[in-house]
Each structure stands twice: as C-alpha cells, then as structure tokens.
A and B are shown apart, each in its own frame.
Chain A
C-alpha cells in the first residue's frame, strides 16, 4: 500500500444506507477511493460509477479458443494423422465430436476467466497478508475509504459529509 498517505474511513452498518450514501457523497463532490464490504452489495458498483466487468467477454474468447482447439485436435488426429475406418463411417464424424468440443469450450472458458479474474485482482496464495483498512469489513461493516490527497476538502469537511449520509463512525488512517 502507498506510504505516507492519509485516508478518511467511513464505517456504515447497513447496505442500503451505504448505497444511497455512496450516491449522495459522490454528488457532494467527495471522491471515494474504494468501498470494502463483507458481501456483494447490489447496486454498489453502479453507485460508485464502475462499469460492468469485461470478464464475460474474456470467458467468451477463452471458450472460443477451447472450441477451436478441441475440434482441431480431433479433426487432425482422426481425419489426417491416422484415419480409421470404423464400420465404413466418415473419418471426421462431426456429431461425434460435439461432446468433447463442448467440454473443451467449458473448460477453457472457466479456467481462462477465473485465471484472468485472479490476475487482475492480484489474488493468489502468495498474497497471504493483504492490507486491510478495517478488518471489520470482512465481518459486518461496510467501510468507505476516501483518499485525502485526492480530495480538495479537508478531513473535517469530509467527515461531516460522511456522517450526514449515514456513516455510523468516521475514522482517520494515515499509512506510515
């Protein structure tokens, strides 16, 4: 985490107060760095102005890769490398290739998408001591983080705005 930075933490107790709060606090001109929640809160990403994730597109592209690789493998092996006469049936019976093509699509799409997700979020078993602004945000609190250096207002002004929009407590945190 960046050192020497100062943050105001607004702690909320309720997800609906939080979502409305985020909306209004942004309207009041406060730039919110990030919000940490114990569970996915619906509408929070929209309130924060986040665009929908592109991960489904990644999944589609990985899936198409799987489709092509699966089909190419089977057509190459059975059609070209070693064609086998099985009861006089075609060397490349496409209907018979559907199950494995489907499985390859699903396998590539899910592994590729989840791998991309872990990579862009920086998640992995080596990351075993992540920095938490407030550990209670994995339990029952919703923690809004405002970066003081990125905002024109001072600490007390931001604190007042956060409180007026439903924060149950406001803390100050500076990283050293």
Chain B
C-alpha cells in the first residue's frame, strides 16, 4: 500500500507494493521475448547488417565513397557524431544531476536513459573511427611512444581533448550504470534457476544487499554523481571546441560550449522520451513511467529548447553586431542560401514546435509528446548539419564553393549507427532490468504515516 501525498502526485501509480516492483520488472527479463520484440530485433539486425556492409566498404575503399569534396571535408560523419554524442547526454544527466538535486522521479527512467547514453556514445565513436579513413590507425590519436621520435599528439588540440573526453565519458557512464545494475541482477539471480542463475549470479558480482554494502553503495553513487555532473558538461563543451577554436566563419564563436550543452540535453531528453514511450507500452510499465514523468521531461525539453533558440538568435545578432563581413555572410547564407531548407527545418523543429510544451494539456498528451520528441531529434540533426555543412560549403574563394550530396555510403553508415543502437537497446530491454528496481522500491513508502510519529 502506498501513502499518497496531498501535495505531490505519486511517482509510481497502481498501488504497487515492493514485491510488485520485483515481479513487474523481472517478468519481462524472465519471460519469452514477445512477437513485437522479435520483429523489432530482426529489423534492427538487418539494418545493422546493411550498415556494416557500407561501413566495411568505406573502410576498404576509403572516404572517396562519401559525398565529401575539397570544400566540404566534414559533413554527415561529424553531423552524425555530434548528434549521437548529444543524445548520449541525457542518461548521465538524469542519473547524476537529478540525483544531486534529489529529484526522485529520475528513479523510473535512469536505467534506460543511462543504457541509451552508452549505446549512443558507441554509435558516435563509430563515426569518429570511420571519418579517420584508416581506422586501424586510430591509436595514433593516443599519446603512445612511437618510432617518429617519439612525436607526441598535440595536447593543444581540441580533437585530442575529445579523445580523452569521449573515452572517459564512456568509461565512467558504463561504470555508473553497472554499479546501479548490480543489486538488480542479485534480485533476478535469486529468482532464477539453472544456467540463468549462474549467468545472473556472475553479473550480480555476488551482491547480497547487506546494510554495510548499501551504505558504501550510497556513498559511491553520490560521489559518482558528483564526478559525472561536470563530466557531462565537459564532454559537449569539448565537442563544441572542435569547431569553436577553428577560424571558420560560423564556427568561431564563444557561445558554442553552453549552446552545445543545452542542445545535447535537449536532444537527449527527446530520445529518452521516444524510447520510454515505446518501452512503457511494450513492457507494460505505465505504472512506473507515468504521465508525471513524461510531463517533467517535457518541461526540460521546453527549457533547453528555449535556451537553444536564444543561442541561435544570439549567434545571428553577434554576426551582425561584430561587423565582420565573412561572419555576417556565413549567417545570411545559412538562412537564405542554398541550404535555407535545412536552416528553417532546424528553426521549426527546435525552436518553434517545442514551445507547444508551455501548454499543460500538450505536455500531458502522449501522442503529441511522441511526435514532438521525434521532431526535436530531426531538428537537432539539422542543427549539426547546418553548423557543419553550411559553414563549410561557401568558403573564402567563390570559385571553390560547392554543395554536399550524400552517397549511398553516407546513408548506409548512418543506418549502421541506427542498427547498432536499436540492436543493443533491444537486447538491454529484454535481458536487463529496464527499471532500477532497488531505487524504485526505495521511493515506495509501504508504511503508514502513523509509524513515523511513533518515536
């Protein structure tokens, strides 16, 4: 039985007991995969297979297969990279920042959001490897002793910072996610038999849930949250510096770090919404991921969407106010040049449509939320395309102006990342507990109010 507060709506509905939480979440781990799951998994694997072929061809033949030319040296590869890294910001933000702010609604969504983070960062990494052209030499980006001197990497370069930032982010997110999974694996282990018991036993690291261990677990969760919070902010800051420290008009702006971080949170929450709205229906988790959770996430989307909107307008204002002709041209060209449609798609999807979330009825409407969450991610893809391709396609010499046309391999490599992401996410959703059972149990108050006053 739950105690309902007169002030706040309950975070978990349906009058769940602690035991119900175990049963509801373990049910989908223990049962046979549903037909929906098998169909989606097959589609993802087909997508991954075709994508792998395209990626293999890119590696075998070289980057000439992409639509790049001597004017546009970065296009879909880096667009996709920044897009995926941005999506990979919500998970750690939800679990770390919301933990520090004691936002209890995070408990139902943090597990899936963190999983999404890790898979999105892996997808991002695939583009970094691919865009090197010779991915077997990727280790050249690391400061390893070599036969050229040793000639070390240039630590002044944001691209080198990125290597450290992304790999640290992936490692720490993975550790944070796994530490949270350990107690839940122990719950599944105690319910399982045979080979499953051995596997989940190994995954649970022999967790028994003693008060001493929980006390240490709580201590490290808090420190990990404290460490991850500046880490999340640093990662996209450094990604934005890949652009901001260059001298390309349209890239060379100091507004980039906060603007990119807000955009990353914006797209990350949109992707969490897209995934959770499907997951809660497929796995019947409507009592755990409630309309309150969806509304809270929509509020963050309208906030970060507005920050992104202000950043777009500020960029324009500064381009005019600086009086620099190249900077002004870059921005006028974005809005009215040959890529006007990409710019206006970005403006519509990121700045205008999320404003609908000011209306409470829209925030609490699942269908509209689902559509808008996809619209936001389309918009955020266009944002990166606009920043990268339209800043490059008309450089200082009009004779070298060019357009970018994606080839089948550009599309194929993008499909690879979708295949990888959904294959991993579906495997996670089926075989791992999608909701953090231990944390959800801790917010279900099973005592009545009277007990509190006994002592």
CB of A176 closer than 8 Å to a CB of B:
no
Can you list 9 A-B contacts with CB-CB less than 8 angstroms, sorted by A residue number?
Answer: A36-B208, A38-B441, A40-B438, A110-B223, A121-B213, A121-B216, A123-B205, A129-B201, A132-B190
Contact residue among A17, A38, A93 (Cβ-Cβ distance under 8 Å from B156)? A93
Not counting A39-B437, A139-B22, a sample of 12 additional A-B residue pairs whose C-beta atoms are within 8 angstroms of each other reads A35-B210, A39-B439, A39-B441, A40-B218, A40-B442, A41-B211, A48-B211, A74-B155, A103-B168, A106-B172, A121-B212, A124-B205
| Chain B residues closer than 8 Å to A4, beta-carbon distance | none
CB <8 Å contact, A104 and B213: no
Interchain nearest-CB distance for A56 vs B (Å): 5
Give the size category of B's interface with A: 35 or more
CB <8 Å contact, A140 and B206: no
| Chain B residues closer than 8 Å to A120, beta-carbon distance | 216
A59–B220 Cα distance when bound, in Å, is 9
A126–B179 Cα distance when bound, in Å, is 16
Task: Answer whether A114 and B206 are a contact pair too, CB < 8 Å, given A78-B152, A93-B156, A103-B164.
Answer: no
CB <8 Å contact, B152 and A77: yes
Interchain nearest-CB distance for B105 vs A (Å): 17
A137–B211 Cα distance when bound, in Å, is 11
Interface string of B416-446 (1 = CB under 8 A from A): 0000000000000000000001110110001
- Which of the segments B50-58, B131-139, B143-151 contacts the partner chain? B143-151
List chain A positions with a Cβ less than 8 A from chain B.
13-17, 20, 23, 34-41, 44-45, 48, 50, 52-53, 55-56, 59, 63, 73-74, 77-78, 81-82, 84, 86, 89, 93, 96-97, 99-100, 102-104, 106-107, 109-111, 113-114, 117-118, 120-132, 135, 137-140
| Chain B residues closer than 8 Å to A129, beta-carbon distance | 198, 201, 206
CB <8 Å contact, A37 and B152: no
A73–B152 Cα distance when bound, in Å, is 10
Task: Answer whether A139 and B206 are a contact pair too, CB < 8 Å, given A37-B214, A77-B143.
Answer: no
- Which of the segments B41-49, B227-235, B275-283, B335-343 contacts the partner chain? B227-235
| Chain B residues closer than 8 Å to A56, beta-carbon distance | 219, 222-223
Task: Answer whether A45 and B164 are a contact pair too, CB < 8 Å, given A38-B18, A114-B175, A138-B187.
Answer: no
A132–B183 Cα distance when bound, in Å, is 13
Interchain nearest-CB distance for A15 vs B (Å): 7
| Chain B residues closer than 8 Å to A40, beta-carbon distance | 214-215, 217-218, 438, 442
The residue of chain B having its C-beta at the shortest distance from the C-beta of A45 within the complex is: B215
Between B202, B214, B218, B452, the greatest number of chain A beta carbons within 10 A of the residue's beta carbon is seen for B214
CB of B207 closer than 8 Å to a CB of A:
yes
CB <8 Å contact, A44 and B171: no
CB <8 Å contact, B452 and A39: no
Contact residue among A52, A86, A130 (Cβ-Cβ distance under 8 Å from B208)? A130
